[in-house]
Amino acid sequence: MFYSNGMIQNVRRRLAAFVPALCLLFGAVASAQQGYRPPDLDKEIFDVKKVDLDKFDRSGLVSALISVGRDFDKKDEVDYELRAHALAIASRLDKDNERLTTTLKQLKDDGETVGDPGDKERVCKRLASGIRALVREKDNEDNQICAAYCVDIALRLDPKSESASKLEEYQEQLSKGGHKADWTDMLGKVIRHQTNPWEEEEEVFEKKEVTMPGGEAKSFARSQSRINGLVVRQLPGGKMAGAASAVNATALREDGQKGLLFTFNQDVGPMMGGCLEEVIKFLRVRYDATPEKVPDGFRIELGFQDKYVPKDGPSAATLFTLVLDSLFSGEELDTDFACTGDITADGQVQKIGGTAGKIRGATKRGCKIVGIPVSNGKEVADVLLLDGPQQLLDIQIFTMADFDEAHAISRKEKSPEVQETLDAFDDIAKVVKEGSLDLLKNPEVLKRLEAVVDKMPNHLSAKLLMEYGTGKNPKVLSLGGSFNELDVASSGIFRLMGPLFRRSFFGEEEEEEEAFEITDEQRDEAKESVAEIKKLVKNIDPKLKKYSEAVLEVCEAVADGPEDDEKAKKYTERLKEGMEKVQSTRSKLQEDPEIMEEIMD
């Protein structure tokens, strides 16, 4: 595979655009980084003066809302969107609260808060108590509105808390009364805190519209359709996490509209806008010969479940194509299906980034069928190597070479061949789960897995489980997976050391060079990074040996602190030299054509 110099330069530009190599070395952004967006403290959503809460209940509710906005333990980290929403409500109930002011400033300045981490279960109980006090005043409209926002926050914080069932009752009651949380225009522009030395400036997000000529149909076969997409999000701590997020398409007749207008329910980045253009080209070709299926005079909106988070990247292109196609065809999509992947105008599904994290996100969401680009298969082998076979038993993962393969597994009503294959694999998974993973080595189980692969060669879960059962599964991470895991493990440290990165790599000079101070908390995080990287070493692609050593050296330097009698400024210089080594090693990898070809192949 060959690339022109212009192509290589374009790939390198895209490589630098995303924090860790999860997408950095796949040249595709799955979802725009979820930077902190400060809440609008002035927009009127209810009359604060009319909210009837006694001093004790108001204080407890405000305190709980502020706790949502602060940092939690790593296992319970909360995304920036929810934190900002909670602080928006807290500020309306007690705008002069000192703890609130401090939290808002810390998130704006540093993207994190300082202090003891919160506990979700305890916070949910406190929120539930405040909500109970609000809904008690049934004739107070402003109480009910405020309660609707607080219930939304509590259920998003922990939908499985001990208080969840009661909160859901409140939500249903409030909804029947016409009270729902509407977060539109509640958040400001994204503040991107420096997370690594190669991050470029934020892309411009704007409204995107694409048109398509109308046809002869009176209306779409379906007016709405919904599909699950797989994304990667940045957590407040700097690390990345996979998730599944719903995308819906809604077609509404628009007076004066000529043809069909496709748009989003929010501003999007340039890559996502560009991928929609390719999707519409594909649909125009697909339905060119059947104008009786194409209506005229409609506006079609693609809506994201988490519409308050900035979006960019082409990895939603395949799911856009599937959900829009279902409007024309009338076919219902499988609610247990999720997918990711770029797509071309001729329907070829293209490689994207962050596959391993996305599959983990699909597992958490309870998806049962997942489609990924065929060229991302190696990253699923990475999941098997790092996490074991359990996830491949829980989810049936298929590769998708083109739209037809994506279409076959995404519809609710599947062909007999596809349905029989799904059922056969479910039977195998049930047997293994009821027994033990050692059953994957059983000749009869292997024979049944082979039959699944023979029927549908793109059934990746069955194929990898066969390799696992015969001991032929990869023992080393893919090149992209190696980068991904290294960067995920070290991203928190690079974020914490942002000021030193800027001085070292961006030429920011201070009037007087100061020693770089590292807190005990930062050292503890560095120790965790060191432990994670050491676990990865045996599985890292050998091509990244020098790079992994350079990353580990920096993390160890932070974890261990200054050596005996080492002056603070000397220690700072050592850290800078370590980071320069990381940058230099990484740059050489990016400039290696063989590395680039293997990553993009």
For residue 213, being part of any structural domain is answered with no
Q: Distance between the two ends of the chain, CA-based, in angstroms?
A: 8
Predicted local confidence at residue 511, as pLDDT: 41
Predicted local confidence at residue 501, as pLDDT: 52
Predicted local confidence at residue 237, as pLDDT: 52
**Rounded distance, CA 349 to CA 226, Å?**
20
Predicted local confidence at residue 553, as pLDDT: 94
For residue 85, being part of any structural domain is answered with yes
Alpha carbon 561 to its chain's center: 33
Nearest to 23 by CA among 253, 269, 205, 191: 269
Write out the residue range of the structural domain in which residue 521 sits: 479-600
For residue 119, being part of any structural domain is answered with yes
Amino acid at the residue 421: T
Which two tokens mark 393?
């038993």
Q: Looking at 176, 196, 219, which one is the last position of a domain? A: 176
For residue 18, being part of any structural domain is answered with no
Query: In Å, what is the CA distance from 224 to each residue of 101, 142, 221, 553?
Result: 43, 33, 9, 53
Q: Looking at 124, 155, 176, which one is the last position of a domain? A: 176
Predicted local confidence at residue 512, as pLDDT: 44
Residue given tokens 């994957």 in the structure block: 440
For residue 127, being part of any structural domain is answered with yes
Predicted local confidence at residue 27, as pLDDT: 30
Query: In Å, what is the CA distance from 163 to each residue of 123, 129, 240?
Result: 10, 9, 28
Q: Is 199 left (phi over 0), alpha (psi -120 to 50) or beta?
A: beta
Predicted local confidence at residue 240, as pLDDT: 59
Predicted local confidence at residue 487, as pLDDT: 83
Domains in the chain: how many in total?
2
For residue 204, being part of any structural domain is answered with no
For residue 491, being part of any structural domain is answered with yes
Nearest to 367 by CA among 403, 389, 401, 391: 391
Return the CA Rg of the chain.
25
Inter-helix orientation angle 317-329/270-286, to 10°: 40
Predicted local confidence at residue 507, as pLDDT: 46
Strand order in the sheet with 240-253: 209-212, 260-264, 298-304, 240-253, 224-234, 337-339, 369-373, 396-400
**Rounded distance, CA 341 to CA 339, Å?**
7
Which stretches of the chain drop beneath a pLDDT of 50? 1-33, 195-201, 503-513
For residue 370, being part of any structural domain is answered with no
Q: Looking at 128, 161, 176, which one is the last position of a domain? A: 176
**Rounded distance, CA 148 to CA 151, Å?**
5
Predicted local confidence at residue 16, as pLDDT: 36
Predicted local confidence at residue 569, as pLDDT: 85
Q: Are 113 and 87 in contact (CB under 8 A)?
A: no
